[in-house]
Amino acid sequence: MNEELPKTKRQPKPRHGSTPSYVTGFVLSLIFTLIPYYLVTHESLKGHVLIAVILTFAFAQLLIQVLFFLHLGRERGPRFNTVFLAATFSAVCVVVGGSVWIMYHLQKNMPDMAMSQKLIDDESISQVSGVKTGGCDGTNVNHHVFIKNGVAFPYVVVAHLCDSLTFTNDDNTVRYIAFGSHPHHELYAGNMGQTLYSGRSWTITLSQAGKIKFHDHNHPQTTGIFVVNP
């Protein structure tokens, strides 16, 4: 009679990690947290590159949590946890990706402070709910600059805050009034510049103090200055 040999039971793979694996996972998690924090606080990277790096480290963090702490992939039989993780990861990618896309387009389409200042000046919004916006409550004295024969007259205009300044093109040519020294353009109170056809005028509110240069971008020799005192 043959004696049946006892069947050796197959030892299941351990589902819990060892102390060294936990320590390794903790150290890696700490490193992958500090690196993005350093990049953001020290402005080492900017724009899309920074976002890509942060997302890369976030994905690495996910892998560390899965491998060193959750031990997914070590279970026997149907890998329900792994399938659940894949579905969760896909949902997170959709939510995070959609959020980044929405925030990017909101930031891109929102008016900056300069354009907001122009809107405030155009609408004469001096305060909102009792809080001053920096805009003028109407305008005071109107100053005039006439452009004739390629010369801006007067060359220097001295004004005060909340005065207005009107440019008039008395030449038979199209002019583009811009601020700053040619070829560099600057914003003034949210105004980028204005095309002036023959006989047309353009008025701006002087809501920012300082010494500002202007020129005709189409004819750079036509220049002038207006000084806005507080």
Q: Write out pLDDT tens, residues 128-178.
A: 444 454 556 656 789 999 999 999 999 999 999 888 899 999 999 999 999
Question: Is the model more confident about 149 or about 3?
Answer: 149
3-class DSSP state for residue 14? coil
**Mean pLDDT of all residues belonging to the chain:** 79
User: Which tokens belong to 51?
Assistant: 């976002």
Report which of residues 111 and 177 the model is more confident about.
Answer: 177
Q: Quote the CA–CA distance of 167 and 223 in Å, as a whole number.
A: 12
Name the least confident of 66-80, 90-104, 116-130, 156-170.
116-130
- What is the pTM assigned to this prediction? 0.46
Q: 163 is written with which tokens?
A: 């005065």
pLDDT value of position 170: 94
**Torsion on CA atoms 110, 47, 44, 53, rounded to nearest 10:** 130
